[in-house]
A and B are shown apart, each in its own frame.
Chain A
Amino acid sequence: MMISLRDVTVRYCDTVAVDGITLDLEPGKIYGLLGRNGSGKTSLLSVLASYRRPSAGTVTIDGTDPFENSALMRDTAFIRDSLDVTDQDRIAKVLDVAGRLRPTWDADYAEHLVDVFALEPRRRVSALSRGQRSSLGVVLGLAARAPLTILDEVYLGMDAAARTAFYRELLGDYLAHPRTIILSTHLIEEVAGLFEQVIVIDRGRLLLHEDTDTFKARGVAVTGPAAAVEAFVAGRTVLSEQALGGVRQATLYGALDHDEVVRAETAGLTLAPVGVQDLFVHLTSGAAEGTPRTEARR
């Protein structure tokens, strides 16, 4: 399924959560949606999953409007914080209900995942820890085998071992059953390798959407004598700078071509890549966490 967003905006009263995003998602890839808390990730995913209509703009899946389209909704699994299950139910019942609602549900795989995450089927949802709740979300999301699978920060509360198991299962099941998977996260470093493409949003706006390798090559740290660094970075996008004595380090945005690399090295400068987590922080650190844009502030 080809997903197209055109100028999608989501407003809550006078707060703009998603601000004119245009995006095309080709089928069968794993996407990473990156953004800080309050950047609009969940609102954007809710629109992608047709859980809500955009305040303005359009969403189409294979050319048709997915909102209240039951066939497309059956093909979409959206796992969000609330899990959309009955808290009083036991896990076994929750999985049973999911199996009856979804034609693509794989009960054997669900059972396997319950084992992997050491979930107790007789436990009630209300009695689960934060991490167990998240694990149940992963079971519901992956065993649904939905052509469009959207997982919104499903790792919350999971320890490192559970997250590793989650990534392994996600990739393994994707390899066996390719489909579109969108995973939102801010733990970028540990999952970046799984993403074919990354989408970065900040304060409701699309910052970039590109291949993960392209994204990774975007940041370069230039270190050397202050004057040489200053001369080299003039006219470029500098994300951050720091100085130690006469040595200066500038983090640049934008890949350098071969000539520029040679020029930097001739000038006695050292070039180093910037990790994806650092790059993300530099790109999105314009405002304090959780500061939403409002109409009044624009």
Chain B
Amino acid sequence: MFDDRSPIYLQIANGIKDEVLSGALKEDEQIMSTNQYAAFYQINPATAAKGFAQLVEEGVLYKKRGIGMFVSPDARQRLRSRRRERFFADVVDPMLAEARMVGIDVDEIAAYLKGGS
């Protein structure tokens, strides 16, 4: 589940974000507790708590005292607009750089995208 490339708490936070984006986690739905998370993924509960704290700070989750953590009502919308902003820089630009390197021009890419090539 976890790779060695980034801190585990960030991977936990990103995993939950993906679940919110895909709709696997619904708005106002309760997420697993830090202890359940720790036991399931065999990690220290403090690491899970750090991931959750990051998401609370970003407004993806909110805390109900004594009950647990829930998905914020606007979390999906917010994550979507943030990811949309980054889409061209994170996804399209690297693709264009690769295309330039191997000699594929923009027209060719456009034709492919329209299903023409």
Q: Which residues of chain B are within 8 angstroms of A212 by Cβ–Cβ distance?
A: 44, 47
Encoded as 1 (CB less than 8 Å from any B CB) or 0, chain A from 148 to 183 comes to 000000000000000000011001100100000000
A30, CB-defined interface residue at 8 Å: yes
Encoded as 1 (CB less than 8 Å from any B CB) or 0, chain A from 25 to 45 comes to 000011000000000000000
Q: How far is the CB of B46 from chain A (nearest CB, A)?
A: 5
Q: Which residues of chain A are within 8 angstroms of B44 by Cβ–Cβ distance?
A: 30, 171, 193-196, 212
Q: Which residues of chain A are within 8 angstroms of B5 by Cβ–Cβ distance?
A: 272-273
Q: Which residues of chain B are within 8 angstroms of A175 by Cβ–Cβ distance?
A: 35, 38-39, 45
A275, CB-defined interface residue at 8 Å: yes
Are A194 and B39 within 8 A (Cβ)? no
Are B4 and A273 within 8 A (Cβ)? yes
Q: How far is the CB of A34 from chain B (nearest CB, A)?
A: 15
Q: How far is the CB of B32 from chain A (nearest CB, A)?
A: 12
Looking at chain B's contact residues, is the secondary structure mostly helix, strand, loop, or mixed? helix
Known: A175-B35, A213-B9, A213-B50. A194 touches B4 (CB 8 A): no
Number of interface residues of A (CB under 8 A): 18
CB closest residue in chain B, given A164: B42
Looking at chain A's contact residues, is the secondary structure mostly helix, strand, loop, or mixed? helix
A213 to B10, CA, bound (A): 10
Q: How far is the CB of A72 from chain B (nearest CB, A)?
A: 25
A145, CB-defined interface residue at 8 Å: no
Q: How far is the CB of A272 from chain B (nearest CB, A)?
A: 8
Contact of B42 among A168, A216, A272, A275 (CB under 8 A): A168
A238, CB-defined interface residue at 8 Å: no
Contact of B38 among A171, A213, A216, A272 (CB under 8 A): A171
Q: Which residues of chain A are within 8 angstroms of B50 by Cβ–Cβ distance?
A: 213
Q: Which residues of chain A are within 8 angstroms of B38 by Cβ–Cβ distance?
A: 171, 175
Which residues of B pack against A, CB within 8 Å?
2, 4-9, 35, 38-39, 41-47, 50
Those 7 A-B pairs whose CB atoms lie nearest each other, nearest first: A213-B7, A193-B43, A196-B46, A175-B35, A196-B44, A273-B5, A275-B4
